[in-house]
């Protein structure tokens, strides 16, 4: 790896290790993560987050679009002149992390709470097997649960309505889910026409990812009665679940590319669709209902176990989700150009079940719009930077008290190339990707509004491998 790439990788690993340690102590608190699978973490790579998180029709030889595995067929591959064997192939190492800062606001009041966290985003490796056939594998988080809510209330006799005592109930939860995957994508030509003025070629690609979906979830409710004269024991209701099972998703892309020999430019239109069908994830659940008192060190000392069960088997039903969209991309002879894309996604979250129980979830949808501009290369560095922008809007999969959670956001991103001065490895390429996202979840009709600002940092390290020596 060239010197600049090693330096970039060292910086990223430092940030990544810092994110692991920081996330342990960060004061992240997202009350909506109490429902469903929790907060769904960003589902796309850093490159596409800058362009509104479009993914269905996106493909790039310098990054890995793991959302649509059909894109793996587009990994750069150079076949031998007189055979279909691979002469060179571009290998990609794509990693990312993100810092987010959320502000919770109670509508029509001045009450607000701010929390932040730094966490690992994904790690992917991709490479071609031969032309129009690629493989990728990696690991990424899917969801995160992190909340702590205190509720103060006056308890009343349900029969007479008389006051009993004041109480404080604390709701807290931790956990999340992760998905290591390996997938492949392949494509083939479905139409081609070449003249002295242009070349037109159409390809169809298919792909699939398989992985192991696993995670855990712990929900705890602690209630204490506040009384000056009588000492009541506090109650503890805790449910701890762990789960894991095989998981699959798939996708396809149809691409038509027009190369103009006169203008020395190319235009690509690519339509894609990807998603997963409804799947069941096996799990086990422990439940505890007890009264307790606190010891001298603040630990819980059980007074009485009201109910306890361990190792109860069950399953989590993950609903079907799909995303469909297109990308239109134009590239000039000097590698300048532009890209525009649109996605529509839908999830059948009303069918979500956790050990047979429904939750406050609903069918959701999202529209994502994005684009990027690559300026005409000049002497200054910023003419070589890729500029990205995007918008997204839709309805969240959480529905509390029969109130929808509208979602709206905007993004801006940059692809910052790192110069390669290694003459022995001229095909190596390193790109630093930045994405800035601002989103709003909820409005004045909801219990809480959430404003989120996220900064994502990613690195793409690529090089041509598998090259055969022509001379010994």
Residue 370: predicted pLDDT: 97
Read off the pLDDT of residues 347-357 as tens digits, 9 standing for 90 and up.
999 999 999 99
Residue 326 has pLDDT above 90, yes or no: yes
**CA nearest to 355, candidates 318, 319, 315, 317:** 315
- Bigger pLDDT: 160 or 383? 383
For range 402-430, the mean pLDDT: 85
Read off the pLDDT of residues 208-241 as tens digits, 9 standing for 90 and up.
999 999 999 999 988 887 765 556 778 888 999 9
User: Rounded to an integer, what distance in angstroms lies between the CA atom of residue 150 and that of residue 293?
Assistant: 19
User: Rounded to an integer, what distance in angstroms lies between the CA atom of residue 390 and that of residue 405?
Assistant: 21
- The DSSP string of 80-128 is -TTSSSEEEEEEEEEEEEEEEEEEEE-TTSS-EEEEEEEEEEEEEEEEE
User: Rounded to an integer, what distance in angstroms lies between the CA atom of residue 334 and that of residue 232?
Assistant: 77
Residue 20 has pLDDT above 50, yes or no: no
In angstroms, how far is CA 218 from the centroid of its own chain? Answer: 22
The rounded percent of the chain whose pLDDT value lies above 70 is 89
Cβ pair 469, 27 in contact under 8 A: no
For range 304-321, the mean pLDDT: 90
Read off the pLDDT band of 1 (50, 70, 90).
very low
Residue 309 has pLDDT above 70, yes or no: yes
**CA nearest to 96, candidates 39, 22, 42:** 42
Cβ pair 68, 451 in contact under 8 A: no
**CA nearest to 221, candidates 171, 280, 264, 167:** 171
The rounded percent of the chain whose pLDDT value lies above 90 is 61
Cβ pair 269, 253 in contact under 8 A: no
Secondary structure class of 19 (helix, strand, coil): helix
User: Rounded to an integer, what distance in angstroms lies between the CA atom of residue 186 and that of residue 205?
Assistant: 6
Cβ pair 390, 340 in contact under 8 A: no
Q: Is 3.30.420 the CATH number for 3-148+171-216+245-269+316-465? A: no
């Amino acid at each position: 790896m060239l010197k600049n790439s090693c330096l970039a990788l060292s910086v990223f690993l430092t940030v990544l290790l810092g994110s692991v340690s920081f996330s342990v102590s960060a004061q992240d608190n997202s009350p909506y993560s109490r429902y469903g699978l929790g907060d769904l973490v960003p589902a796309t790579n850093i490159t596409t987050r800058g362009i509104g998180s479009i993914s269905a029709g996106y493909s790039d030889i310098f990054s890995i679009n793991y959302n649509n595995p059909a894109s793996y067929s587009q990994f750069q591959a150079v076949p031998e002149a007189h055979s279909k064997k691979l002469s060179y192939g571009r290998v990609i190492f794509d990693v990312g992390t993100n810092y987010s800062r959320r502000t919770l606001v109670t509508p029509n009041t001045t009450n607000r709470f701010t929390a932040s966290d730094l966490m690992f985003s994904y790690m992917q490796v991709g490479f071609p097997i031969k032309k129009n056939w690629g493989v990728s594998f990696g690991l990424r988080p899917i969801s995160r649960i992190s909340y702590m809510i205190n509720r103060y209330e006056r308890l009343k006799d349900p029969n007479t309505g008389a006051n009993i005592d004041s109480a404080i109930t604390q709701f807290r939860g931790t956990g999340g889910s992760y998905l290591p995957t390996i997938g492949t994508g392949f494509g083939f030509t479905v139409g081609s026409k070449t003249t002295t003025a242009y070349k037109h070629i159409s390809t169809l690609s298919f792909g699939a990812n398989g992985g192991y979906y696993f995670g855990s979830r712990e929900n705890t409710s602690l209630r204490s009665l506040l009384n000056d004269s009588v000492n009541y024991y506090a109650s503890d209701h805790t449910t701890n679940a762990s789960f894991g099972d095989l998981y699959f998703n798939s996708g396809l892309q149809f691409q038509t590319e027009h190369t103009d020999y006169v203008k020395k430019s190319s235009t690509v239109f690519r339509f894609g669709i990807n998603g997963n069908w409804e799947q069941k994830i096996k799990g086990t659940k422990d439940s505890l209902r007890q009264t307790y008192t606190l010891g001298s060190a603040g630990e819980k000392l059980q007074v009485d176990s009201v109910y306890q069960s361990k190792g109860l088997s069950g399953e989590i039903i993950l609903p079907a989700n799909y995303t469909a969209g297109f990308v239109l991309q134009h590239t000039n002879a000097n590698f300048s150009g532009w890209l525009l894309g649109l996605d529509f996604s839908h999830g059948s979250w009303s069918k979500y079940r956790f050990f047979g129980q429904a939750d406050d979830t609903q069918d959701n949808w999202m529209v994502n719009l994005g684009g990027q501009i690559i300026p005409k290369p000049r002497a200054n560095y910023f003419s070589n930077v890729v500029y990205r922008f995007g918008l997204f809007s839709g309805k969240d999969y959480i529905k509390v008290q029969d109130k929808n959670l509208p979602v709206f956001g905007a993004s801006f991103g940059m692809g910052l190339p790192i110069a390669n001065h290694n003459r022995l490895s001229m095909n190596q390429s390193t790109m630093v990707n930045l994405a800035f996202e601002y989103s709003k979840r909820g409005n004045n009709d909801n219990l809480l509004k959430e404003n989120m600002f996220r900064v994502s940092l990613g690195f793409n390290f690529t090089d041509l491998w598998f090259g055969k020596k022509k001379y010994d």
